[in-house]
Structure 1
Amino acid sequence: MITGFSRRMAVPVCSLCVAGTLALAPATAAAGHRAGEPAPPGPRAAMPQPSLLRRPGTQVRPHPGVPEVPDVSALSWLVADAGSGEVLAAADAHRRLPPASTLKTLFALTVLPGLPAGLRHTVRYEELEEVGEGSSLVGVEEGLSYEVSDLWRGVFLSSGNDAVHVLASLGGGWRATAARMQAKARSLGALDTRVVSPDGYDTPGQVSSAFDLAVFGRAGLRDPDFARYCSTAEARFPGDGWSYAIENTNRLLTGEDGVAPYPGLIGIKNGYTTNAGNTLVAAARRGGRTLVVTVMNPQDEEAFAVYEEARALLDWGFAAAGRVDPVGSLDGLRKASRPASVAAPVAAAAAPAPAPGGGGGPWPPSAAVVGLAGLGAGAVALALRTRGRRAARG
């Protein structure tokens, strides 16, 4: 029997003991077995199914009653939930193909954060002299002064390679920008991409994939500036003492050339070159869910097949979401880190959502239980040691 505790000490010590005991009580009660008997097995966590994204052909894990995946002609495509990163379905997702101007998504991810939108720059001749022949242009002119925000609208709306060259110059130069883009792709787990020309211009060896482009598009939606530029349908671009209208070349966004606009479309980026064919990475929001879709080089000879195939895949994705098991994840190849949340469609006013599962505190519940129990036991030990010392001195 332990004696000699003062009343002043007994209250906090006992309180801590009780706190530790009560904190441990749920775990003890949950065990529900007598001493000496084996504990019943606890609940088993669901194991994620292996990724199918490296397999050839169409990959989907539908539940009963889910609509069939649409029959599209693209050489490669993917539909994913932009929030969770889960891939709902894909076909040849890692097939390496020329990306055309959809590579500008990676360019923007790399360069946009380091250049203030209001920075004004006067264009020099050498910044435009290596723009590729036949490039899409927004009309940047030597000797004129532009704000960085003007140049980004030229990139996203008109797919202007002239604007890309100027921004790359401001970001450290053409080759340095390509190297930074390559490093950015690797950090995001986009391992199929090889960057040679930051504007997406046809260049030997330059490739990406439906998987990588979806990764870039999803990452872009987390940046309010990126999301705002990529969803802009029309803008004014400065000329020499005047300005002129420019329009986004993504017809799912604008509804031009007989292509019906897609409800809830956020935008992102389309592209075309002779070598790449038509390419598109797009995102749309419906019922609180955002999907991202990539379509690469449809073989259908219709001029705007890339938009109609993207439409069909988005329609299927919204109908199937929550009714299919994922075939992979857009986070599956990235370096281990806490994934950021996707920005809301109205990106200019949106703040990133908290990461799922976060409790806001520094300790998980199990650590708190152990901490409380340890705190109570530590207080008892300290009291006993103090009592022993007093007895020794007495």
Structure 2
Amino acid sequence: MPTYRHTLAQLCAAVAAALPVLLAAPAAVAAPQVPPPSTAVGGERLGRPGVQVNPLAGAPALPTDLTGQSWIVSDAASGEVLAAYNPHLRLPPASTLKILFADTVLPKFDRNTVHRVADEEIQNIGPGSSLVGIKENLDYRVEDLWRGVFLSSGNDAVHVLSFMNGGIRRTVNEMQDRAEALQAWDTKVISPDGYDMDGQVSSAYDLSLFARAGLRNPDFRMYCATRDAMFPGAVDKSTGRRGSFGIANTDRLLGKYPGLIGVKNGTTTNAGSTFVGAAQRNGRTLLVTVMHPASYQRVYDETAELLDWGFAAAGKVQPVGRLVDEPAADGTQPTDQASGTAGAPAPPPHTAAAPRPAAAPDGDAGLGPVGWGAAAVGAAVAAGAAVLVRRRTSRRRRAWGHFEC
């Protein structure tokens, strides 16, 4: 009968034998972040790694200085994807997740509704969060709260609207349901404001879906295009009058890039920068999403470069995929108002959205017996690495704090 010592020795030998294989193929560990072609929503090519573009004669070349880990250029009306780079790569979305929050909650409340903020509604907001400056026991109109969300990226405004909607947990669940209704399978919602949370991810493709859906709402379009506004302040004790203060949109392209109509930026210390921008030119509306470039300013520079390319390339490239349309309640395709036009065509059969994978994004579905063994060894190695990452991240947060906008 084998002893415990023998069994342990055999296990150690198995781990030692498997480690060279795992270490020799690091790409296999990162691969699950990009869905395989058979499950890529929007078309097979959008599931492939690397740049996807299909130029025709006279098409301009793509910018050569792009550093984003993921990006996508699409037509808001037709949904055609003109070019993309790892569009289904799952990454922390930062405050661009507020696009999904707005698309989910904005239709529920009249803009003139007045709400008195309770103290509990602005508690437990993540340290370092961007805030618009809401105070407890004061009245705010819903439209003021939404300006706080879109212009100041205020997590306090998100929390108040979430409480109005039934609470944080309910709002998170509804956002996840909304993402799934839009077929945004790369997105996992944990916080309604996009604050860094373990496991919270989205993709350039999904963020473009959210923006396209949000732009169908005239109020959404109005808020995301607002450059500055006055926000209600505190009550002056000497006069009894309530003051106000100015807030400005943190979107650095708004008012600078010709034709830009929004949508939302997001930056955190740990997640880096992400931006979703929509612009109109000559009757065409393009959407560009850039995630995690080399620096904060690069997210705006690269979005502008890709918008320039997209307008120049329109009609000179074959689409490499499409943003899938949200099925209407009766099963028909919806009227698309994202660009002020109607009649977005139904997706062709070869680019229709694939069913949602049965396994979680990081699951081990489809592994054979050899795969199970490698996965078990890999899990043991990954667990140790995760501890180191958590410790390093914790030290970094203690040293540098947390910043979000």
Give the TM bin, normalised by the shorter chain: 0.7 to 0.9
Runs of 4+ in 1 over 4 A off after TM superposition: 332-336
Alpha-carbon deviations, 1:54-108, whole Å to 9, x = none?
0000100110221111120000000000000000000000000000000000000
CA contact (8 A) 1:51 1:329 kept: no
CA contact (8 A) 2:77 2:341 kept: no
Stretches of structure 1 lacking an aligned partner (at least 5 in a row): 1-48, 255-260, 345-351, 359-394
Stretches of structure 2 lacking an aligned partner (at least 5 in a row): 1-41, 235-241, 347-405
Give the alignment's TM-score, normalised by structure 1: 0.72
Alpha-carbon deviations, 1:251-274, whole Å to 9, x = none?
1004xxxxxx10000011000012
Aligned counterpart in structure 1 of residue 132 of structure 2, from 130, 138, 148: 138
Change (3 A) 1:50 1:231: closer
The alignment-based identity, stated in percent, is 57
Instruction: Give the Cα separation in 2 of the matches to 1:142 and 1:262.
Output: 37
Partner of 1:308: 301
Partner of 2:288: 293
Partner of 1:253: 254
CA contact (8 A) 1:118 1:148 kept: yes
Residue 326 (structure 1) aligned with residue 324 (structure 2): no
CA contact (8 A) 2:327 2:333 kept: no
Change (3 A) 1:82 1:356: closer
Residue 338 (structure 1) aligned with residue 339 (structure 2): no
Instruction: Give the Cα separation in 1 of the matches to 2:172 and 2:221.
Output: 22
Instruction: Give the Cα separation in 2 of the matches to 1:309 and 1:138.
Output: 28
Instruction: Give the Cα separation in 1 of the matches to 2:217 and 2:168.
Output: 23
Partner of 2:208: 214
Partner of 1:55: 48
Instruction: Give the Cα separation in 2 of the matches to 1:356 and 1:143.
Output: 46
Give the alignment's TM-score, normalised by structure 2: 0.71
User: How much is the aligned-residue C-alpha RMSD, in angstroms?
Assistant: 1.7
> How many correspondences in the alignment?
295
AA aligned opposite 1:294 = T
Alpha-carbon deviations, 1:304-323, whole Å to 9, x = none?
11100000000000000111
* Helix, strand or coil at the partner of 2:270: coil
**1:58-73, aligned counterparts within 5 Å?**
58-71=51-64, 72-73=66-67
Change (3 A) 1:250 1:129: same
Partner of 2:269: 274
Shift of 1:51: 3.3
Change (3 A) 1:98 1:356: closer
CA contact (8 A) 1:81 1:291 kept: yes
Shift of 1:188: 0.6
Question: Greater Rg, structure 1 or structure 2?
Answer: 1
Partner of 1:376: none
Shift of 1:333: 8.4
Partner of 1:383: none
Partner of 1:199: 193
* Helix, strand or coil at the partner of 1:228: helix
* Helix, strand or coil at the partner of 1:158: coil
Aligned counterpart in structure 1 of residue 159 of structure 2, from 165, 172, 177: 165
Partner of 1:227: 221
Partner of 1:23: none
CA contact (8 A) 2:172 2:192 kept: yes
Instruction: Give the Cα separation in 2 of the matches to 1:237 and 1:333.
Output: 35
Shift of 1:114: 0.5
AA aligned opposite 1:60 = V
Change (3 A) 1:316 1:342: same
Aligned counterpart in structure 1 of residue 342 of structure 2, from 343, 354, 368: 354
Instruction: Give the Cα separation in 1 of the matches to 2:119 and 2:61.
Output: 54
AA aligned opposite 1:90 = A
Partner of 1:126: 120
Shift of 1:157: 0.2
Change (3 A) 1:332 1:235: closer
CA contact (8 A) 1:222 1:340 kept: no
Change (3 A) 1:334 1:203: farther
Partner of 2:239: none
Shift of 1:50: 5.2
Alpha-carbon deviations, 1:272-314, whole Å to 9, x = none?
0122101000100000000000000102x4x411100000000
Shift of 1:189: 1.1
Alpha-carbon deviations, 1:201-247, whole Å to 9, x = none?
00000000000000111111110000000000010100021111100
AA aligned opposite 1:262 = Y
CA contact (8 A) 1:186 1:334 kept: no
AA aligned opposite 1:163 = A
Instruction: Give the Cα separation in 2 of the matches to 1:293 and 1:191.
Output: 19
